[in-house]
Amino acid sequence: MIIDAHTHFYDPSRPQGIPWPKPDNEVLYRTVLPEHFKEAAASDGVTGTIAVEASEWMEDNQWLLDLAEKEPFIVGVVGNLEPGSEGFADHLARFAENPLFRGIRLRGKVVDDLESSDVTLDLEMLAIRDLELDLLVREEHLESVTSLAEMFPEMRMVVNHVGGVIVDGRDPNLFWTKSMFAAAECSNVYCKVSGLASATRREPAPVEPGFYTPTLDVLWHAFGEDRLIYGSDWPVCSRYADYPNVMRVVRDYFEGKGKKAAEKYFWKNSLAAYQWEKR
């Protein structure tokens, strides 16, 4: 079993269109639905996915849930709701009625705004519902991730896209390394090994697995075999690498850690973090 814990779906042919990606994006501005993902990933043994809503339009959370209801390949949905925004509690209550709704994604600017009582009160509602929190952050936000994890130790949190580091084939910078180790000290924090190809900023990204080893080694030593999660960031990754090459890099590394570690990385750890629906 392989669960890809980070994909995006959208359809610009809808009457209302889409807010993201923009029409001038030649790679991403196209209809992207589960059947297209399965075509790209099925040959690599992917059996399901967690879809992450990137649209800022509130009703697109429902659009994605409706899509998931009809497509058992989607085992969970991470919504786009911003704590501290008007109506958060009502929107959360509405979407959380659907068992496929597994959490929300928070951006770095909100992670850094922990002094706001509105933000923390809304996050408490998320914790009460035992939902997960994805964290889309850059390096400069990582210290706030640790503070957030300590503030809500009962909430499962997943750092997206390896914490925003640039992957260049060498040892990652010291600030990122120290910050990731500090975040990993909090047992409720996971890291999604996603967006690796994008993190190279190279088009195309290198396909040699060894290029990524220095970054993956830091994550392995920080989070261990129980808190690293597979995610491709498809279709965004398509700008940098096709799906087989995205898979090749992480499969080489994690299968090299043994069958038990590979199973945890490819599906068991995402089940622990997201508590997704077995469909």
pLDDT in tens, 225-262: 999 999 999 999 999 999 999 999 999 999 999 999 99
Q: What is the pLDDT of residue 111?
A: 78
- Mean pLDDT, the chain, integer: 96
The owner of tokens 């090749």 is: 248
Instruction: Report the C-alpha dihedral over residues 3, 4, 5, 6, rounded to 10 degrees.
Output: -160
Cα–Cα distance, 30 to 8 (Å, whole number)? 12
The owner of tokens 């069958």 is: 259
Would you say residue 75 lies in a domain? Answer: yes
Could you give the percent of the chain with pLDDT greater than 90?
Answer: 94
DSSP 247-272: HHHHHHHHHTT-HHHHHIIIIIHHHH
Q: Look at residue 109 and tell me whether its pLDDT is greater than 80.
A: no
- Overall average pLDDT of the 154-181 stretch: 97
Q: What is the pLDDT of residue 117?
A: 82
Question: How many structural domains compose the chain?
Answer: 1
Would you say residue 72 lies in a domain? Answer: yes
CB 54 within 8 A of CB 134: no
Q: What is the pLDDT of residue 2?
A: 98
Q: What is the pLDDT of residue 172?
A: 98
Cα–Cα distance, 193 to 189 (Å, whole number)? 13
Instruction: Report the C-alpha dihedral over residues 20, 161, 26, 30, rounded to 10 degrees.
Output: -60
CB 126 within 8 A of CB 104: yes
Q: Look at residue 108 and tell me whether its pLDDT is greater than 90.
A: no
Q: What is the pLDDT of residue 65?
A: 98
Q: Look at residue 105 and tell me whether its pLDDT is greater than 80.
A: yes
Q: What is the CATH number of the domain that holds 45?
A: 3.20.20.140
CB 167 within 8 A of CB 200: yes
Would you say residue 279 lies in a domain? Answer: no
Q: What is the pLDDT of residue 116?
A: 72
Would you say residue 172 lies in a domain? Answer: yes
- Overall average pLDDT of the 210-233 stretch: 98
Letter for the amino acid at 279?
Answer: R
Q: What is the pLDDT of residue 112?
A: 76
- Overall average pLDDT of the 215-228 stretch: 98
Residues 113-149 as b/e (b if ≥16 CB within 10 A, e otherwise) read: eeeeeebbebbeebeeeebbbbbbbebebbbbbbebb
The beta-strand segments (E) located in 116-188 are: 132-136, 157-159
**Which residues constitute the domain of residue 51?**
3-274
β-bridge partners, 106: 135
Would you say residue 159 lies in a domain? Answer: yes
67 falls in which pLDDT band (50, 70, 90)?
very high
The sheet with strand 3-7 has its strands ordered as 3-7, 48-52, 74-79, 101-107, 132-136, 157-159, 189-193, 228-230
Would you say residue 17 lies in a domain? Answer: yes
Q: Look at residue 102 and tell me whether its pLDDT is greater than 90.
A: yes
Q: What is the pLDDT of residue 42?
A: 83
How many residues are given for the chain? 279
Cα–Cα distance, 176 to 162 (Å, whole number)? 10
Q: State both tokens at 194.
A: 């996603």
